[in-house]
Amino acid sequence: MQASGDGIFFDKDVIRDRNQNRSTLVCQNGVVCSSQPLASMAGVDILKAGGNAIDAAICANAMLSLVEPMSCGPGGDLFAIVWNEKQRKLLGLNASGRSPYEWDLNKALALGMKEIPIRGPLSWSVPGCVSGWATLQEKLGRLNLAKVLEAPIYYAREGFGVTPIIARSWSLSKEANTAALRTFMPDGKSLRFGDIFKNEDMAKFFEIIARDGAEAFYKGEIAERIVKFSKANGGRFSMRDFREHTADWVEPVSTNYRGYDVWELPPNGQGIAALQILNLLEHFDIGSMQPNSVGHLHLFIEAKKLAFEDRAVYYADMDFADVPLKSLISQEYAAQRVKLIDPKRAAQQVKPGRLKGSSDTIYLTAADREGNMVSLIQSIYYGWGSSFVPDGLGFCLQNRGQLFSLNPEDLNKLEPHKRPFHTIIPAFVTKDAEPVFSFGVMGGDFQPQGHAQVLMNIIDFGMSPQQAGEQPRVQHSESSMPTGRRMVDGGFVDFERHIPEETKLRLSYMGHKIRPGAGAFGGYQGIWRKSNPRRYFGASDPRKDGCAIGY
């Protein structure tokens, strides 16, 4: 790190290659793991003030909306898996929004579209985040939203220092609307590490939610302002879209991987892709291999390709589509599909199974002294979402509606009041009906790949929760997509640093297309739980600014 006349800077290469030997946090009373220290600290303060893990998670999420606004916020969607200690069961929450009633396939095709634009009003779906906060709070929380939002309101008004990795993404494009530029680039330039940022509009917004609850967002003042803004900017929102929005409790689904039950949420999200990958990998003795060896990576990449072809065809809003959920995550289906994996050769073309009925995100996890645990993920999709901020609200609207397909034959095709395919997925692990691990890995299409890699590191290779997130990762990209795109020539494989060039070379000999250079994939947080006495082991990804804080 070096100083200059107008700020403090850092060597990006050092950040990408920084020490990968953080200690795993261990505590007894409670812990919050997130991608920014103020969010983790605010969550722990809520625990100390008498709140539970649910209250802490909502507080941390609201704080991240302020300090990491390009990744998350009230303009986006939310999913959660909660271990409720009193009921001794897992609960799933789908707080993702739906498409506008006035936006459908015929209208999109009439505009000559082949895909929905990434930026702008036509990519908007109703933001579900605030309904997620309220639904979690009402059913499981101990405090009220006014108390939980105190710290985010304070820092929005008083300001905070921008952290280094978040600073690298603090730049909006020319596609952003005037309010977005005014809100997030107040001096007409990108913020940098160490700059102090304030968001008075977000403070006022949080105060409205603290006072009036989610009703203000979906039936009152905030909804009216967003709909007015939509009409003025070519969007399709109406008050009906907001009034009829609901966050829904759903049953998590699972598969067993070497004695551990791994839980994800059912579609419209992509969580079951992680279960499909694990079902395929269970047919191989992964634990006998070296982590990130040629054999290990080859099998993982091939399993990912197979799962993602099914993802492209079958994953959609289950209120609109006949998704063969049980078949997709069954061991019997995996036993048939695994026969397509050649242990010595990369597949260049992969077809989905024949079954009946055929970017940027934050993840956080929290646990409390009673034993409740929350796995929560929240996002506005691309960096800065749609790049549009409604006047005076201080947050970007998501562009999640971009993930609808415009092919009339696809299950994930655009339809009114329908949830789009979703990439953000929380995860949870139990063993013998006891909670073991609350975790997630942010990063768009990478997320199921990240879930599988973390779990292999822990279950197959015996790593600690912290070590499991620090290991170098690989990412396979350009699989077929639920938007209608199809994989060509087997896709590409990208690597993080510390994976030897010889490994890459040998994988290329097997037919994998290797992209040069080194990336950084995902952002992981995790809490491992042990009993008698109860202890929490918190882990936080060195690829992000955050940390695990417990007491």
Instruction: Quote the CA–CA distance of 373 and 375 in Å, as a whole number.
Output: 7
Which DSSP helix (H) or strand (E) runs through 95?
Answer: strand 89-95
The CA-to-CA distance between both ends of the chain, in Å, stands at 31
533: cis peptide before it, omega within 30°?
Answer: yes
Residues designated as active site: 361
Q: Is there a contact between 438 and 83 (Cβ–Cβ < 8 Å)? A: yes
Q: What share of the chain is helix, strand, coil (3-state, %, to 5)?
A: 35, 20, 45
Concatenating the DSSP letter of every residue in 262-307 gives EEEPPTTBSHHHHHHHHHHHTTS-GGGSPTT-HHHHHHHHHHHHHH
List 519's β-bridge partners, or say none.
496
Place of tokens 């509009």: 201
Instruction: Quote the CA–CA distance of 90 and 266 in Å, as a whole number.
Output: 14
Q: 383 vs 119, 127, 168, CA distance in Å?
A: 10, 16, 11
Concatenating the DSSP letter of every residue in 318-366 gives TTTS---HHHHT-HHHHHHHGGG--TTS--S-------TT--EEEEEEE
Q: Is there a contact between 68 and 383 (Cβ–Cβ < 8 Å)? A: no
